[in-house]
Chains A and B, each alone.
Chain A
Amino acid sequence: MTTQTIAGVPVEVNDEGFLEQPDQWTREVGAAIAAENGIAQMTDRHWQVVEFMRTTYLEDGSAPSIRTLGKASGVPVKELYQLFPKGPAKLAAKIAGIPKPRGCI
């Protein structure tokens, strides 16, 4: 665990770059993490997924599966992969400032 300054905010991150404290997150931090991971411009659709991930995590204590993401976020699975080609669940969680999802589905 190290402390990094992202978008001017000091945050604690693990060795994979996931935030350790979800409450240190701001939208600007999210956008900066996105840019670092190949998403130069976050669109409304990206934010819709990221916010869904974050809300679900904060409410349930775990990130949604890709199946739930596709069914309940309002963004279908095909589009999820267009928005986050390197893995929607993992990357959206990173941008959302929540831990890496550990589910197999």
Chain B
Amino acid sequence: MGNEPIEKVSIIISKGSLEGVYPGLIMANGARMEGIEANVFFTFFGLDAIHKQRQGKIKVATVGNPGMHMATWLGAVPGMSSVATKMMGKKMEELDIPPIPEFVELVSDSGGGLYACKASVDMFGFTKADFVDQVEGVITVGEFYEQAAGGQIIFT
């Protein structure tokens, strides 16, 4: 294999924490900025990122997250996760990184396809109406692979 440029990526977002959602969105947006075709497949708790009522409430994990450099008991203090999320949001705004709802819209406007995983949607009892309008469909894993054909798959 030579070093042919990447022409297509399919990104899976499987986590519902702030740090679980952003990397996938940044990679999808970054792909589109380079003219690379991009699709994002939201599965399990990652579905929160496209859920109308939940996408604006995604928080950073302050418990069970050694990267926070915070004692577990401190991370568990009520409101700690909100405070950490607010601080991080402020920093991101300074860096021109949009909040999640706006970011999801940006990826869609950029031509990135957004899809929800059918197994997870069924498991959580959601329907397509629970998701933001930019979501193009609820698809099976088989359909995801079909769609990912010819490109790279990135799991986050």
- Stretch in B42-50, B105-113, B122-130 with 4+ CB within 8 Å of A: B105-113
Query: Of residues 40 to 61 in A, which have CB atoms within 8 Å of B's CB atoms?
Result: none
Tell whether B97 is near chain A: CB-to-CB under 8 Å.
yes
Bound-state Cα–Cα, A66 to B110, Å: 9
Given A67-B96, A103-B96, A105-B26, A90:B33 Cβ within 8 A: yes
Given A77-B106, A89-B33, A67:B98 Cβ within 8 A: yes
Closest to B97 in A: A105
Bound-state Cα–Cα, A77 to B30, Å: 14
A64-79: CB near B (< 8 Å → 1, else 0) gives: 0111101000001110
CB <8 Å contact, A87 and B33: yes
Bound-state Cα–Cα, A28 to B93, Å: 37
Closest to A66 in B: B33
Given A81-B110, A105-B95, A105-B96, A66:B35 Cβ within 8 A: no
B residues near A65, Cβ cutoff 8 Å? 96
Chain B interface residues toward A at CB < 8 A: 26, 29-30, 32-35, 95-98, 102, 106, 109-111
